[in-house]
Amino acid sequence: MQKTIRTILTATCSLVLAPLAFADFTLVEKDGALQLLDGETLVTAFRTDYRVPYLYPLTAPSGTNIARHWPMEDDQKSEEKDHPHHRSLWLSHGNVNGYDFWAGFGEKKASIVLNSITEKEAGADSATFTADLTWTGDDKKLLQETRTHTFTRPDENNLRIDISSTMTALADKVVFGDTKEGSFAIRTDRTLRVKGKEAKATLTNSNGETDADAWGKRANGAAYSGPDEKGEAVVIAIIDNPTSFRHPTHWHARDYGLLAANPFGIHDFESNKDKTVGNHTLEKGETITLNYTVIIHNGSLESAKLDDVYKSLPTKP
């Protein structure tokens, strides 16, 4: 496993919780998931009850869940029931050797299978675990993935999630196809959207482009900023690490609450007639590494200081 950047994941119950009174982090296996707890508060859980793993909920330092609830929960009747494959925080892609790991459309069966959890450790202000995963298409093994999650709490207003994914080709040839449908993504709660019944947020990338203008652009990062469901200011951001594949990545960032870093969908994002221009091929045994940092900040986009976070990231593996 390449030791690049680690992952910090933040989550919260679908219920509105009281502000966190920070205790020690603990990792507990329960109900088929690996839960990250802060004292007795559920921060997030690594879940494998779907065809791809995901983290849900995502609890802000204030104690509110900033991820969409549905389809994991159906406790918010005003929430739109679109894109059931958008599950809180996840990593997948819409075309790997012709298999759709993103939406699961078509007759081909695509899934990311958990083999084991390794290197599990938790303490006062940090926690980490590594998931050993296999990407399978019609029961054929395509990729072996080592995905390391590191959670840290820089201060009372921030939860940081560093996720490092190294994928190794198991098949003789593995092609990540050029499609906008991918790859490292978060789907936000009702208020943290630009469009929707309760939408009150702004989408901004690191170039300063906002809302619909941020879609498809290359940028160091992108964020939603606005009120959470209790009306408190919050920011949810993904930052593309300089060591990540094809940095700075393109962004499949939609105004309905989707924030996705996608280094493969070049023809879609740049309106290139060559539908293979973004393809990336791995021969058997070759690897690719994706590194992202998630920041959940209680406060404004300015007080989140995302540029400072980006500048602090490693520039070499």
Return the HEC string of 99-162: ECCCCCCCCCCEEEEEEEEEEEEECCCEEEEEEEEEEEECCEEEEEEEEEEEEEEEECCEEEEE
| Cα distance between residue 222 and residue 257, in whole Å | 12
* Burial class of residue 202 (count of CB atoms within 10 Å of its CB; 0-12, 13-18, 19+): middle
pTM above 0.85, yes or no: yes
Is a pLDDT exceeding 70 seen at residue 11? no
Q: Is residue 40 helix, strand or coil?
A: coil
| Cα distance between residue 166 and residue 143, in whole Å | 10
The segment with the largest mean pLDDT, out of 17-21, 73-77, 98-102, is: 98-102
Mean pLDDT of the chain: 93
Domains located in the chain, CATH noted = 25-75+84-312 (2.70.98)
Closest CA to 46 of 16, 74, 10, 81: 10
pLDDT per residue as tens digits for the range 202-221: 999 999 999 999 999 999 99
pLDDT per residue as tens digits for the range 225-251: 999 999 999 999 999 999 999 999 999
What would you report as the CA-atom Rg of the chain, rounded to the nearest whole angstrom? 18
